[in-house]
Structure 1
Amino acid sequence: MAASTNVARLWSRTQRAPLWVSISLYALAHADLDGRVDLAPSHLRYVFRTDAPTVSRAITRAVEAGWLDPTSSARCLVVAAHA
């Protein structure tokens, strides 16, 4: 595992970062070679201890910021091509 992946995993769990940043870093840390992270429907709610609407808003914000691809959802995060 690369050092950058370890850093992304650590930062994805911090409470100091906005949720959209944490979810984006989680995606970077766990993405497969295609930049995708397939998840169970409630996985992000469990990991980040929040509700579904909050996760959805955070994913939308990450997409707006260009960190996640517009096809991302709570079931499948897709890292933006330029990230």
Structure 2
Amino acid sequence: RRSSDLKEKIKKKKKEKRKKSEKKGTEKNENKIRTKTKKEKKKKKKRKGEKKIRKKKEGKRVQKGTKRKGTKKKKKSKKKRKK
């Protein structure tokens, strides 16, 4: 056998495999909607600039974190305000 024959044979096999895998994928995912796992349901996504508010231990003062820090507008510089 020549090496070119072997290479062609390998190419054909790979092509067939690819076709099979593509078919499998489409059949599976057509009517499947991704659902959240238990872990994902429990985990709450933090918004940008949000700090965790610590729980108060008995008899101790607790510093509260400010929520939603990222939404404030930035002040314009003095030069820009004058113009």
Normalising by structure 1, report the TM-score.
0.20
Give the structure, 1 or 2, with the largest relative contact order (CA under 8 Å, sep 6 or more): 1
Structure with the bigger percentage of strand: 1
Q: TM-score, normalising length from structure 2? A: 0.20
